[in-house]
Structure 1
Amino acid sequence: MTKVAVLDDWQRIADASGDWSALKARAEVVFFHEAFASEDEAAQKLADFDIVMALRERTAFPPSLVARLPKLKLFGMTGKRGATIDLAGMAARGITLTYTSGSETGVGTAELALGLMMAAARSIARGDAAIRAGGFQDGVPAGPELAGKTLGLVGLGRIGRHMARYGKALGMNVLAWSPNLDEARATEGGAHYRTKDELLAQADVVSLHIVLSDRTRGVIGARELGLMKSGAILVNTSRGPLVDEAALIAALEAGTLIAALDVYDREPLPPEHPLRRLANTVLTPHLGYGTRETFAEFYGQGIENVLAFLDGKPIRLLHPDT
């Protein structure tokens, strides 16, 4: 019987997000709720599966792992980009690749970025923790009003534009920069263009909304963090490696910044990671795009893709060279 592995179901939401009955009637479907501890564990647990359904940028599939999955015939992923997945190598080996849409509007991620910004500004997480520990206001710092403050957006694509609108609704002055942005496009997106250094120096909140690539990796390093205002908030709902993690930890330990983070260099975040012990952080476990609506689309289309493949008529084919 065909075996289907549904990976990265860390929130245990996959089974309830689609109608699996037709697929379960034709295949053995196994849901994996925990991240693999190592590539060896992934290879060992996936060796007997014909089909893998994965959420992008959770479990990595480098060439060394792909080579250890001899039975793999179909690899389905969410979205069309997979920086940690050897899509070209899979295609060269004759493995069928499919994708799903979902989270196309970026609303879920933008809403979370807004929530993180407000939580960091007003110490909402620390206030909640104080109440639950039996205290009240003691140890919970007073925060600023966001009205009249400056929001700096690094990236003004679909998610950044949502954030620009949210910032304006709060009465904030909105600035934007990205490697390809100019004044005209910034104005069209609802922001004022600034150079990267100008934006970092002027913003009370800096929120990242650019794609991770070789060009943008470490776009916020020690120098850039040093340009930010004392007490400024850095929000990252995009990708962890956009920020030099060691430099960010140093700035947080020095007390010069506040960080509101949904993404990290390594996910899941290791239990002993220093970010977990710093009070001037608000941390969420990569919830950005993960709304009920998005998961329903991810898994609904993913099931369709597998059934079409089993029928010999694959759909939503992903071509890594195009």
Structure 2
Amino acid sequence: MDDPAGLADALPGTEILVTGWGLPALGAELLDRAPNLRLVAHLGASVKFLVTEELFARGVRVTQAGQAMARPVAEVALAFTLSLLHQLPRFDHALHTGARWAAAEQAPARHEILDCPIGVVGASRTGRAYLDLVRALGARVSISDPHCTDEPVLPLEDLLTSSRIVALHAPVLPETHHLLGARELALLPDGAGVVNTARSWLVDERALLAELRTGRLDAALDVFDDEPLPPDHEFRRLPNVLLTPHQAAGTVEGRVRQGRIVLAEIDRYRAGQPLRHEVTPDQLPRIG
């Protein structure tokens, strides 16, 4: 169900509600229209915009399909990483804007991913999928995540000073707001790149823009403070920035996998079996 206007009319008699994006929060007013509701199965990852304390208080269970999105987002983060290492945004921008061949050839030093120091901020589902990919290609990885207990971790400052690429995969939490601000970005070595396929919440966009203007850093971004990204936004004009319109998760295979996860969860619910992707009230505050 992804039609906000039709949601209220669809609730009476509904036991299982399959949700997408753009719906209002399921508060008391809507839940009063759904006395039979027992399961909310969300096709996306974060359910914070949708789930309320009232929903849990009425005994409604919640599940989501975020696992399906980890692989495609990780692949885009890998593509971003390789593009920044090989300076593809600068080359592409030069040729598209009509630069002479000799000028287009000029770019900062390029690097391979083999033995490249890559920092991963957030060992989330997507972060771990990205780790698998870059490790398979021979990168040397560091992780910063206060909740990661099964991998060696670094303090964020140490990770920033030692990484050629920093890939963000942390959740949206109060403590992760502007995790990378002006002070943190200044710690990155000259020529480093920032990859963000998570949320713009994690980066002070003004501070990042100030660094990018100097040409000292590169960035590849799928998420922005303002979406849609305004046509006159300076990000669009910078040669050292690679942009995609918040579509990292949108593969055919990923969408199919989301649907399969939700259908499987519904089958498990109806059979009285444990849900594999359930979100409980105690988990909700830690989910981005």
Please state which band the TM-score falls in when normalised by the shorter chain: 0.7 to 0.9
Letter in 2 for 1:106: A
Residue 218 of structure 2 corresponds to residue 261 of structure 1: no
Counterpart CA distance in 2 for 1:156 and 1:166 is 13
Most deviating of 299-308 and 247-256: 299-308
- Residue pair 1:98, 1:305 contacting (<8 A) in 2 also: no
Question: Which residue of the partner structure matches residue 117 of structure 2?
Answer: 150
Distance 1:101 1:168, change over 3 A: closer
SS in 1 for 2:218: strand
Question: Which residue of the partner structure matches residue 221 of structure 1?
Answer: 181
Residue 52 of structure 2 corresponds to residue 87 of structure 1: yes
SS in 2 for 1:296: helix
Counterpart CA distance in 2 for 1:265 and 1:281 is 16
SS in 1 for 2:151: helix
- Residue pair 1:102, 1:298 contacting (<8 A) in 2 also: yes
Question: Which residue of the partner structure matches residue 61 of structure 1?
Answer: 24
Aligned-residue RMSD, C-alpha: 4.0
Residue 207 of structure 2 corresponds to residue 247 of structure 1: yes
Structure 2, unaligned stretches of length 5 or more? 283-288
Question: Which residue of the partner structure matches residue 124 of structure 1?
Answer: 88
Most deviating of 199-208 and 268-277: 268-277
Structure 1, unaligned stretches of length 5 or more? 8-31, 33-41, 187-192
1:129-208 aligned at under 5 Å gives the runs 131=95, 137=101, 138-139=103-104, 141-142=106-107, 143-146=109-112, 147-181=114-148, 185-186=151-152, 193-208=153-168
Deviation at 1:270, TM superposition (A): 4.1
Letter in 1 for 2:151: R
Deviation at 1:102, TM superposition (A): 5.5
Deviations 1:92-115 (A, max 9, x none): 5x5956534353583222211110
Deviation at 1:282, TM superposition (A): 0.9
Distance 1:46 1:165, change over 3 A: closer
Deviation at 1:305, TM superposition (A): 7.4
Letter in 2 for 1:159: T
Deviation at 1:302, TM superposition (A): 4.6
Letter in 2 for 1:209: H
TM-score, normalised to structure 2, is 0.72
Deviations 1:229-278 (A, max 9, x none): 12210111222211122222222223332111122334443444443333
Question: Which residue of the partner structure matches residue 275 of structure 1?
Answer: 235
Query: Could you tell me the percent identity over the aligned residues?
Result: 29
Question: Which residue of the partner structure matches residue 109 of structure 1?
Answer: 73
Letter in 1 for 2:258: F
Distance 1:266 1:97, change over 3 A: farther
Deviations 1:34-75 (A, max 9, x none): xxxxxxxx5x575544487444xx5363478x8579856675
- Residue pair 2:47, 2:64 contacting (<8 A) in 1 also: no
1:33-52 aligned at under 5 Å gives the runs 48-50=9-11
Distance 1:159 1:45, change over 3 A: closer
Find the partner of 2:196 among 220, 224, 236: 236
Counterpart CA distance in 2 for 1:67 and 1:280 is 48
Deviation at 1:295, TM superposition (A): 0.7
SS in 2 for 1:282: strand
